[in-house]
Amino acid sequence: MTLRDELIASATRLLDDGGPEKVTLREVGRLAGVSRTAPYRHFTSKSDLLATVAARELDRLVDGIAAPAEPPAALEVSLSAAMLRFLTWARNRPERFRLVFGHWAQENDALREAAARANRALVDLVAGSQGSGALPPGDPWNVAAVVRAFLHGAAALEQNGHLLGPDRVRLDAEELVGTFLSRASGGRTSVSARPAPTR
Amino acid sequence: MTLRDELIASATRLLDDGGPEKVTLREVGRLAGVSRTAPYRHFTSKSDLLATVAARELDRLVDGIAAPAEPPAALEVSLSAAMLRFLTWARNRPERFRLVFGHWAQENDALREAAARANRALVDLVAGSQGSGALPPGDPWNVAAVVRAFLHGAAALEQNGHLLGPDRVRLDAEELVGTFLSRASGGRTSVSARPAPTR
DNA sequence: ACCTGAACACCGTTCAAGT
DNA sequence: ACCTGAACACCGTTCAAGT
């Protein structure tokens, strides 16, 4: 394991522990057994280090979510399962979710590439679901963007406590997936499968 | 105008200019013609100051968006117009959008109250649209949460550059509203009204 | 009651210097 | 080629002291 990888691992641990502001280069270096300026030989800045963490996590996420089910499932079930898996990930790794899908002023090549790959995987799932009638027809990029927006918002609002029901009861993001999909399909299907837990 | 209001105005200006990290208490004080520790007589911390800015902006937003149209419009047009207005606000005031709907660890009373008010306004719009058939039936809190999640995600992903079409063309959040609403209503209506610009 | 100036404990980043 | 230690220019926050 190279020092670069060690630094990424340390940064990820600190991120999970207390968000980006807890990821100080001093502590990252200390955890890797190195000085506080050593990270600058491997990353141009703290922002660059975090972008690398984000890119790695997004790649991992796509691998975990887009993996074919065992045994192979119908495509609309795959879409629903993928959506639920995404929400589970966002809930279990809130800091990573916020980092990966947060605000990136100057973008990192690896992160942009990972985002494009994630998008393609979703478009494929959506197109498949349209073919089987679980989603209505229409430009798959547009429909995928609606799905993506819904998922992102559900995860973000749940974390921020903005997903309120009557009397400030917090709503469950997973429950919304059922509402979303049944409305989107015009009542043609109703899916309520629970996802296998992501690692 | 009290010093407290002056500090809020200064903080808002700095926020629009360069995000929360540009809102330094030193500069907030300087803009208000006061020392850098003076804000601590009016806010317990920088975070408390920002929460107050967020609460004010959210109140303003609800007033601007939930205002009855002139002349009065059908309810489903109101919902569509409100959604488009929200997206316009988020695009024109990206830092305020991120602040208001960002991560709030220790919540502020005023902000929580403003969020509840915004939620109620949306639930009313959704319930009205269900009554006129523009949205399918179902628990209005659930349907409103889906609408809210979609809107939040569309605004956030557009800002983050994650809303990609084929060949990395950036998709238009407003276009997605049409897709979202026509799918949600099961093709019963198709709305494409453009909103009046928010100030 | 409200404000100030100095001070404290942090940051990210740079750079000359070491091996 | 890679790492270090000191230094710089910032932060938020505290606190004794002023009016």
Phi-psi region of A142 (alpha: psi -120 to 50; beta: other; left: phi over 0): alpha
**Contact status of A153 with chain B (Cβ, < 8 Å):** yes
| Higher-pLDDT residue of A192, A130 | A130
Q: Which of B144, B102, B145, B140 is nearest to B15 (CA)?
A: B102
Crossing angle of the two packed helices A75-92 and A173-184, in degrees rounded to 10? 150
**Contact status of A183 with chain B (Cβ, < 8 Å):** yes
User: Which residues of chain B neighbour A176 with C-beta distances below 8 Å?
Assistant: 142, 145-146, 149
Average pLDDT over chain B, rounded to an integer: 88
Q: Check if residue A39 sits with its Cβ under 7 angstroms from strand D.
A: no
Query: Cβ distance A108 to B138 under 8 Å?
Result: no
Q: Residue B52: which pLDDT band, with cuts at 50, 70 and 90?
A: very high
**Contact status of A138 with chain B (Cβ, < 8 Å):** yes
Two tokens, residue A43:
């990353």
Q: Which of A8, A17, B19, A104 is nearest to A25 (CA)?
A: A8
Report the predicted TM-score, pTM, of the whole model to 2 decimal places. Answer: 0.90
Q: Residue B105: which pLDDT band, with cuts at 50, 70 and 90?
A: low
Q: Is residue A190 over pLDDT 60? A: no
Mean pLDDT of all residues in B129-137: 84
Query: Cβ distance B79 to B134 under 8 Å?
Result: yes
Two tokens, residue B86:
């929200």
Crossing angle of the two packed helices B173-184 and A173-184, in degrees rounded to 10? 70
Average pLDDT over chain A, rounded to an integer: 88
Mean pLDDT of all residues in A149-176: 90
Tell me how close the Cα of B35 comes to any Cα of chain A, in angstroms.
26
Mean pLDDT of all residues in A110-121: 91
Crossing angle of the two packed helices A173-184 and A140-160, in degrees rounded to 10? 160
Looking at residue A9, its pLDDT comes to: 97
Is the Cβ pair A156, B151 closer than 8 Å?
no
**Partners of residue A170 on adjacent β-strands:** A164
**Contact status of B93 with chain A (Cβ, < 8 Å):** no
Which positions on chain C have an atom < 7 Å from some protein CB? 2-6, 10-15
Tens digits of residue pLDDT in A67-89:
766 666 777 778 999 999 999 99
User: Rounded CA gap, B136 and B127, in Å?
Assistant: 10
HEC letters along chain A: CCHHHHHHHHHHHHHHHHCHHHCCHHHHHHHCCCCCCHHHHCCCCHHHHHHHHHHHHHHHHHHHHHCCCCCCCCHHHHHHHHHHHHHHHHHHCHHHHHHHCCCCCCCCHHHHHHHHHHHHHHHHHHHHHHHCCCCCCCCHHHHHHHHHHHHHHHHHHHHHCCCECHHHCECCHHHHHHHHHHHHCCCCCCCCCCCCCCC
Mean pLDDT of all residues in B81-109: 91
Looking at residue B192, its pLDDT comes to: 42
Contacts of residue B109, defined as CB under 8 A and 6 or more positions apart, other chains included, come to none
Tell me how close the Cα of B15 comes to any Cα of chain A, in angstroms.
15
User: Rounded CA gap, A19 and A98, in Å?
Assistant: 9
Length of chain B: 199
